[in-house]
Structure 1
Amino acid sequence: PLHIQAAAIEAIRDGHTRYTAVSGINELKDAIVDTVQKDYGLTYRRDNVLVSCGGKHALYNLFQTLLDPDDEVIIPAPFWVSYPDMVELTGAKSVEVPTREIDGFKLRPEQLEKVLTPKTRMLILNSPSNPTGAHYRRDELDALAETILRHNLTVLSDDIYYRILFDGQEWVNMAMLGERLKERTFIANGVSKSYCMTGWRIGYLVGDAAVLSAASKIQSQSTSNPCSIAQWASVAALNGPQEDVEKMVQIFQERCSYVLKRLAEIPGVTCYKPNGAFYVFPNFSCTFGKSVDGRVIKGSLDLADYLMEKANVAVVPGSAFGEDSCLRFSYAISMEELTEGFDRISRAIAALK
């Protein structure tokens, strides 16, 4: 949005180009605190906030701070591709728990109970989700909360897509269910998705002040502060008008409907209807075992390679997200590109016998 661009230019002209505090400028921390108060109904202070070089950096800092070797982290699958690797870098172990399309790709309480051990330290919840677009309702979070509290689990709530919800759905996360859950939850967020600022690299954590103080020390010895200019632009993003975000969400919902329609026209393909974000995660296992010109499709990676070479369309294989039956499509492109892309995909899939 233009007002964010203008704020960045103004920051340069005003000389905001030197080091800042490692954990972020106070103006941005205040904007984050105010945003969480308004959108979550939760009260935090500046020392409950750590600003980092993107959402991924925020997650990495938290994992490095909290996780010890042999700790176990529960990651519902499908999952964002970086979670297991970032956990592994701490010496901890990822426990991937498959969820089902019939359940909306959401973790159920009995699944959580089944994988808990004395070493379980953390549960990661990404809602709305990359890659599925699934969003946990309040009652679904309530169902998980009893187990979380009984076993003293820490929750990482990755809320990076929280503004991109469809059909007027209620925004809710685990920290919003009560003080005890707030104390056990770390919120990870950023400006990348809501404000089209992926290259500006501003993410943040909100949670326990002592933990974030330790995470800030780790950040101080790796990147130091996030980009000063991008921080001032993020102040404008959070404090400024939100009409552009609302328009973007409406456009994404329209594109999502179109994508679901095109997928339904491909015989054998099924797709969970996303609740938000800007992805679909359709099941293309109907193509597995089929071939063309002697080329056999054995899984999602084969299919993604085939679509790239045959149709010149880039998709991400579901195996990268822990579910080989699916492909991930992003509809954060124009309708013209989506139309052309699905025309090509449909022809390529029809060629498989």
Structure 2
Amino acid sequence: MNSPSAKKFHGIPLSVLDLAPITEGSNASESFKNSVELAQHVEQWGFNRYWLAEHHNMPGIASSATSVIIGHIAGATKTIRVGAGGIMLPNHATLVIAEQFGTLESLYPGRIDLGLGRAPGSDQATAFALRRTLNRGAEEFPQQLEELQNYFSENPIGRVQAYPGRGLDIPIWLLGSSDFSARLAAQKGLPFSFASHFAPQYTLPALRLYRDNFEPSDALEKPYAMVGVNVIVADTEDRAQWLATSQQQQFLSLIRNTPSQLKPPIDDIEKVWSPFERASVEQTLDSESTIVGSPATVKQKLEEFIDKTKADEVIVNSQIFYQKDRLRSYEILAGMMN
């Protein structure tokens, strides 16, 4: 479950969720260069895994071809686990995902994770463009999961088999922001990753549901929950709060249905949003699962978050405009690990 060089914070591993942000005035090529630089640094600093997420039709996120960028990151690193957080399975033919991740595992043995979600990773129009039909949706996710597990088994059932893919030990995670995947992960005996970083109000109920109903499997003997959290840490409180306005603007653009590239920090966020918009953003980026501040502040709040969720691992998202500040944020976090 852990990479060879993983260190611990408050007794658990820390990992990285990279949304491959495209900053205002930049492009995908620069985003990928920044991701490689970040991955190489966090590997040296002792983070456990490096995940990328599938999003589509989002001008500020470059990881739409998720398996391609996973291969790029894995090829630029040596020991850190690299994977999907996640692949939105209803968007794809299950065989294609089995072949893609079978290929990745064959190229980088023992380092690839496959996290699966059931949302489209965008809007319905984009989902139709991806699938050419909306007949297959989230309700078929359990069936798709079974198909995928069959493709990876030593003795798959059926005439169609995944090469590469068959017989490979690729950890499958279920991702969730509600109770559906918590129940399914418990039923299937799989590790579970909850998106507390954008669905904080459902975190504790989903984790409780997963743990209370977990059934041991060949993949996992006891429940293993990784929880997502937004962290922006800087050398001073003021700089951290200033850097955090980029993420606030990003969620504001989503509320307004005008997604954009990641904007630079601003001095007065109050001039940008209405009271209703502020309340909506703060409901998503609440103070427990979005931790912003100086090293002392972040250390205390992150410890409280871990104590409250009883997480087995924490995966950190840091939407920071300036690459040097993004690197510094993870460097400070690394300094908190043993």
Whether TM-score is above 0.5 comes out as: no
Q: TM-score, normalised by structure 1?
A: 0.34
Scaled by the length of structure 2, what TM-score is found? 0.35
Indicate the structure (1 or 2) with the bigger Cα radius of gyration: 1
